[in-house]
Structure 1
């Protein structure tokens, strides 16, 4: 089975070592106008550091990645869909370790099970004042997920091929923090993936390796 995915993985590793699509790709899925954009896109001096994990794995002949639905809580990301991850702790060696620790705590996948391939462009999330580093990893099989009910209301296994379909990207007018904005989002069944998570996914999907995703027509 590994041979089926090797051309994709080889290109993905190469993509992550070269110039990344960066902000241009991220901003394709940014709310317009961006909440907090009036303050600029540069991080505040007191911004915290965080890490998230985009964990790719094969299942049913294609590639998936896990997203999580956050529980409702007093906070700006309450009830939103996100990537596994969280804030840096002093015990973490770096932000990759942050993403790995949080992923294990939230969905039960241990770092020993997967291989880190590289990173996407850090994204400043003004709403929560975090600079987030996305880490890309690969596991050769669908993991046995074990979610923490305190941090995860639901696990969403997102097919890469569905995210790549143009019709999955949609835009709606929303009222957010008292004003109307245009919000691009990925439509995954009953779920809308928007904001920082959608922006990070947008950069992943802009990588040349996506043309080699198994099951995708390259014509």
Structure 2
């Protein structure tokens, strides 16, 4: 899929079924992630990060650049762009935001806005080692192929919840990141 095909499919008006998120009993902490896409000759790729291994929460997990809303952020889109700049050095001026997916709530108490954007070439990654161990990209075609998606169910408070996994080479994309990618796959239909 190329950039024009993606935009055409992303901007449809039909109702899409979404993966179940975690039903928070109160409003979660506002957060945003950037789903940053690169337009290569072989198709679109998504930039992902491996979280630093010394972090107290979600250490070593694969994630999108992103984090919690801060008072200086004008919007959750600004949160996603600020966090991508802080974590991997992606300048906001190099991102063409085309929209967002529906919010996703996590068991850790976040209410996440997934912002979708295309990245212009010509920037160099500057990884913040306090937050990120590595940055890499994965072909969108692999991430959108539901044959690559695995689902495991866990029980919490006598209710079952799905946990999603997408293997990529020696890495495992799972949890909220995999669920958001599944929602993108449903959206692109």
With structure 2 as the length reference, what TM-score do the two structures score?
A: 0.85
Distance apart, 1:199 and its partner CA:
0.9
- Quick one: structure 1 residues 204 and 154, their matched pair in 2 at CA, closer, same or farther if it must change by over 3 Å? same
Alpha-carbon RMSD: 2.7
Counterpart selection for 2:6 from 5, 8, 27: 8
Instruction: Please tell me whether the aligned partners of residues 43 and 124 of structure 1 are also in contact (alpha carbons under 8 angstroms).
Output: no
Cα contact 1:49–1:130 (8 A) shared by 2: yes
Q: In the alignment, which residue of structure 1 is the partner of 2:29?
A: 48
Contact 1:51-1:134 within 8 A present in 2 as well = yes
Task: Quote the residue 2:19 is aligned against.
Answer: 26
- Larger relative contact order (CA 8 Å, sep ≥ 6): 1
| Residue equivalent to 2:126 | 146
* Residue matched to 2:66: 85
Q: Mark the runs of 5 or more structure 2 residues left unpaired by the alignment.
A: none
Q: Which has the higher helix share?
A: 1
TM-score by length of 1: 0.74
Alpha-carbon distance change, 43 to 58 in structure 1, aligned in 2, over 3 angstroms:
farther
Deviation at 1:57, TM superposition (A): 1.4
* CA offsets 1:74-118 (integer angstroms, 9 cap, x no match): 533122111100001100001110000000011111111121111
| Deviations 1:6-31, CA, capped at 9 Å, x for gaps | 2332332x23xx3553xx4323xx7x
> Counterparts in 2 of 1:29-108, with a 5 A limit?
41-45=23-27, 47-108=28-89
Rg bigger for which structure?
A: 1
